[in-house]
Amino acid sequence: MTRPFTIVLLLTATAPGVVSADAPTPTLTPLPAEIPSPPENPTTAPKVALGKRLFFDPRLSGDNTMSCATCHLPEKAFADGSEKSLGHGGKPLTRNTQGLANVGLFSSFFWDGRAASLEEQALGPIESSVEMNQDLDELERELNEVEGYRQSFQEVFGTAATCDAIAKALAAFQRTLVTDPSPFDRYLAGDDDAISDEAKRGMELFIGDAGCIRCHHGPLLSDGKFYRIGASWGDKGRGLITNDAEDNHRFRTPSLRNIAETAPYMHDGSLETLYDVVMFYFRGVPKASPEGQPLDIEPRLDSSFSDIDSLVAFLRTLSGKLPHITRPELPE
């Protein structure tokens, strides 16, 4: 039995233009069993195996000390548990590291959505002078000196190690980071005992009075759109990409999949626990940005402390098991 979720939204207190009345009704949806790949980069087992080795290989960074997995830890749903990861030269980055559970379902990447595909995203951190600080021509040369890589790239792509192939392999690996059904998915599929009564109450609030579902919906519990919710003001977010002041301080709605494992929260890592996040929505949302722009959301001042506990209990049901990923042996 599949639970029929027809959720009627009362569109009160929303900024004009953010949600139009004829937008489809947002719903909570289970995860697909696998994440589809684009026609130009089909997911195959040998490609995924190559992508996994690259993901863990510090030779991808300029000084050969940092891999993707330095910041994206398998045991933390591929986030890293710190407010800001340390980049090249031990300097903290400006944003919190995102988890990667089910990341292949997004259609834009990073807090500001600046990459349109995982293929496009992959070379960003390698090349970035504040992250892995690697020259891409140098990277190709380095990998082609490794016998094991030369063979694998030849087998998978029929070419030497090129940036295009490196990006494709990394993307294919990341598309396999799909979680097993979480208690929440099992509940959606009809297993009434999969989540506690407290979590059910939290879910009612999430889709009802607390208004979370307006932005957090679909299989990732993210609509993939950009909002100004006022966690902090030091970062212009989406505005830096579009050069439109209207987008200043807007960030992509994050996925809530495996959210209990990826503390701390928000683009700046400023909120330590899920309790702090819900408290922020209830009491902390400011009225306007320092430039006077209104927010896309209002605080829920009518909510109670027990509502916070229920919402947190619900958020905790969204964790599913990731594939067991261990550090692979790196080719010589």
Binding footprint of ligand HEC on the chain (CB under 6 A)? 60, 66, 68, 70-72, 85, 87, 93, 95, 97-98, 100, 103, 106, 109-112, 118, 121-122, 125-126, 131-132, 170, 174, 210-212, 214-216, 227, 229, 231, 251, 253-254, 256, 259, 262, 265-267, 274, 277-278, 281, 296-297, 311, 315
CB closer to ligand HEC, 50 vs 118? 118
Torsion of CA 162, 163, 165, 171, to 10 degrees: 160
Residue 89 Cβ vs ligand HEC, minimum distance, rounded to whole Å? 11
Of residues 131 and 247, the one with the C-beta less far from ligand HEC: 131
Q: Least CB distance from residue 75 to ligand HEC, whole Å?
A: 16
Given phi > 0 = left and psi -120 to 50 = alpha, else beta, which region is 66? beta
- Min separation Cβ 9 and ligand HEC, Å: 11
What's the token pair of residue 298?
Answer: 């209002």
Instruction: Give the residue with the Cβ less far from ligand HEC, 40 or 193.
Output: 40
Burial per residue of 125-149, b for 16 or more beta-carbon CB atoms within 10 angstroms, e otherwise? bbbeeebbbbeeeebbebbeebeeb
Give dist(CA 119, CA 37) in Å, integer.
11
Cβ-based nearer residue to ligand HEC, 1 or 290? 290
- CA distances for 154 relative to 46, 56, 164, 167, angstroms: 11, 20, 13, 15
The number of residues in the chain equals 332
* Cα end-to-end span (Å), the chain: 52
Judged by CB, which is closer to ligand HEC: 143, or 274? 274
CA gap 250, 16 in Å, rounded: 15
Q: How far is the CB of 6 from ligand HEC (least distance, A)?
A: 19
Taking the least distance from each CB to ligand HEC, the nearer of 68 and 165 is 68
Closest distance between ligand HEC and the C-beta of residue 215, in Å?
Answer: 3
Asked if residues 97 and 82 have their Cβ atoms less than 8 Å apart, the reply is yes
Task: In angstroms, give the least distance from the CB of 195 to ligand HEC.
Answer: 15
